[in-house]
Amino acid sequence: MRVVVGTDSVHATAAICDYFERRAGDDDVRVVAAVPPGNEVARRDAAEALNVAGVRLAGDDVETELREGEPASALCEAAADVDADEIVVGETGSDAAGSTARTMLERASRPVVIVPVPDLE
């Protein structure tokens, strides 16, 4: 199965990696972090998140990619680029689904898996 994973933080990446460790399968995974143009703090956080994904998912077929742009659009484009079977994102918002996850549910042309991200204590 080809999977695109969206992340924006080390914390969300850790939760998503935990999900993949529990999941049975031989997935091809592309981890994508999308950042607004010119936002160096977001770029640094995204690079750290991609590094964690690369290390945690090293046994799988994993690629990482940093894109500039609005997260939901960038993830939909990445999924189309690799003809992904599904998109996996973390839910970090305080409502039922974070804003990126909610937008993905509305826009994506393929299944979206939302992984709960526990609150930092």
**pLDDT tens string 85-101:** 999 998 875 544 468 88
Q: What is the pLDDT of residue 96?
A: 44
**Domain residue spans of the chain:** 2-116
Residue 67 has pLDDT above 90, yes or no: yes
Phi, psi for residue 89 in degrees, rounded to 5: -135, 155
pTM of the model: 0.87
For domain 2-116, say whether CATH 3.90.550.10 is its number. Answer: no
Ramachandran category for residue 56: left, alpha or beta (phi over 0 → left; psi -120 to 50 → alpha): alpha
